[in-house]
Amino acid sequence: MIPNKIQKQIMVVLVKYKALPGKSEEAIAGLTTLIEKVLEEPYFVSIRMHLDPKDPHNLFLYEEWKDAGYYNGDHRKTPHLMEFIRNSKELLAGPPEITQWETIKVFTA
């Protein structure tokens, strides 16, 4: 188990997207291109992309970051994120639902 001091440094970001009808594959491709660039950012830990098995228009990202200040500041101003936001208007039904969480405990097998 990770010590509490380290656990509190990890911020989890949950992002829910809704693709427009017939645009799921393009939305996944666009998110993949974005994430490939995000991988190079400081304070980035990981991103997991999920697809709703009952509705392929629902996409979900589980992100982990080491610094909430960076995520809420410089990350949101990166050229690759700004480009994705501009281009995604033709792919997504609207802006994503984004929530942020602080990791307080980790349980693993």
Domain spans of the chain, in order of start: 4-102
CATH class of 4-102: alpha beta
What pLDDT was estimated at residue 105?
Answer: 87
Q: Are strands 44-51 and 97-102 parallel, antiparallel or unpaired?
A: unpaired
pLDDT at 108 over 90: yes
Mean predicted lDDT score pLDDT of the chain: 93
What pLDDT was estimated at residue 106?
Answer: 87
More confident residue, 41 or 9: 41
What pLDDT was estimated at residue 7?
Answer: 45
Residue type for position 81: L
